[in-house]
Amino acid sequence: MTTEPLLSVRDLTVSFDTDDGLVQAVNGVSFDVHPGETLAVVGESGSGKSVTAMATMRLLPRSARISGSITFDGRDLLSLSDREMRRIQGEDIAMIFQDPMTALNPVFTVGNQLAEAIRIHHPDVSKKAASERSIELLEIVGIPEPRIRVENYPHEFSGGMRQRAMIAMAIANQPKLLIADEPTTALDVTIQAQVIEVMRKAQEATGAAMILITHDLGLVAGVAERVQVMYGGRLFETGDTGTIYYRSRNPYTQGLMRSIPTFAKRTDERLSPIPGSPPSAINLPAGCSFRPRCEFAEAICRDEEPALRPLDPAGAHQSRCHFAEELPDFSQRTAEVAG
């Protein structure tokens, strides 16, 4: 990529002081997001993907200890005052939340909330103009009869419609960056693809870059240009979507891939889940944090934490594994398993 990155996160570390000890939620994460591109951040619960997003949005509680830097559009977000940050929130960076049931205010009409999102940043826009724009926004996200719907309360919307309304709210001010935190997790499977499609459309309409946070690798394919996989607060692998899908060089990513159900799989073939659970963020295992669950683990994995290493000259594909080069290709391995 030759363009200047829109968002540049360097060595981001977030920890929380709890009664049980220091929780390392995010540990030395660095990545870039370029204008207009979509980056998917994939990982299990507790991998630190949401905390990374919340840190970028500056929405973490004050008790969070944050170090590193987050540069957006040439400004270091972590050193801005609350007032300066509020000018960016909702205007330049907007967020789509996981649960549309609770992320909309139950006592205001959808139109009211859309207008509010606009008028927070543009108090000079008249109520009438804001309401017209709300109708337009609902139309962009494909809500039928937007002129009537704009007067409805959130509980009069279905789950998918609410999430579409949230997307409309997020793009209200034409942000440069959209952060979608598990936008489809709370929705029915049949609605998920619709919502992803609406997000893609919304992104197209505004030209915004997007960080799509999800635990569902399957959702990522048609949407994101790049994928980064997180585990235990660390980046485990990053690369172009195609590279990650076909030539993953990380046992954890490959484990995630194998746990995606596909119609192409034979019915007698069982899904192979990754054994065990994600590590506790309080007490990460020594060496590679994935070691206890990894089928390739050897002595070195316990003694030495692997670094995130570039696997091609451009450094577009990076993996955190001692055996990144020796790992069998994912396609070959599934072939073996399938027999």
By CB under 8 A, the residues from 62 to 121 that bind other proteins are 86-91, 94-95, 97-99, 102-109, 116-117, 120-121
One-character DSSP codes across 280-307: PSSSPPSS-TTGGG-TT--HHHHHSPPP
Nearest distance in Å: CB 269, other proteins: 8
Candidates 18-26, 37-45, 192-200, 306-314: pick the segment binding other proteins (CB under 8 A): 192-200
Residues in region 43-62 near other proteins by CB under 8 A: 57, 59
Report residue 170 as tokens: 């997020």
Q: Work out whether 128 is an interface residue with other proteins (CB under 8 A).
A: no
Q: Work out whether 277 is an interface residue with other proteins (CB under 8 A).
A: no
Nearest distance in Å: CB 260, other proteins: 6
Q: Work out whether 127 is an interface residue with other proteins (CB under 8 A).
A: no
Nearest distance in Å: CB 104, other proteins: 6
Between CA 262 and CA 199, with CA 226 as vertex, the angle to 5 degrees is 75
| Closer of 151 and 298 to other proteins (Cβ) | 151
Question: How far is residue 290's CA from residue 298's CA, in Å, rounded to a whole number?
Answer: 12
Question: How far is residue 255's CA from residue 137's CA, in Å, rounded to a whole number?
Answer: 40
Question: How far is residue 168's CA from residue 236's CA, in Å, rounded to a whole number?
Answer: 33
Q: Work out whether 185 is an interface residue with other proteins (CB under 8 A).
A: no
Q: Work out whether 123 is an interface residue with other proteins (CB under 8 A).
A: no
| Closer of 47 and 109 to other proteins (Cβ) | 109
Nearest distance in Å: CB 179, other proteins: 9
| Closer of 266 and 270 to other proteins (Cβ) | 266
Residues in region 282-321 near other proteins by CB under 8 A: none
Selected from 36, 69, 135, 245, the binder of other proteins by CB under 8 A is 245
| Closer of 158 and 174 to other proteins (Cβ) | 158
Nearest distance in Å: CB 43, other proteins: 17
Strands 209-214 and 38-42: parallel
Q: Work out whether 25 is an interface residue with other proteins (CB under 8 A).
A: no
Asked if residue 293 lies in contact with residue 235, where contact means CB atoms within 8 angstroms, the answer is: no
Nearest distance in Å: CB 26, other proteins: 18
Residue 89 DSSP class: B
Query: Dihedral (C-alpha) 73, 53, 121, 81: value to the nearest 10 degrees?
Result: -70
Q: Of the candidates 173, 206, 148, 201, which has an alpha carbon nearest to the alpha carbon of residue 91?
A: 173
Q: Work out whether 169 is an interface residue with other proteins (CB under 8 A).
A: yes
Q: SS3 of 184, please?
A: coil
Find residue 10's DSSP bridge partners: 69
Residue 152 has a CB neighbour count (10 Å cut-off) of 17
Q: Output Rg (C-alpha) for the chain, integer angstroms.
A: 21
| Closer of 127 and 265 to other proteins (Cβ) | 265
Find residue 240's DSSP bridge partners: 226
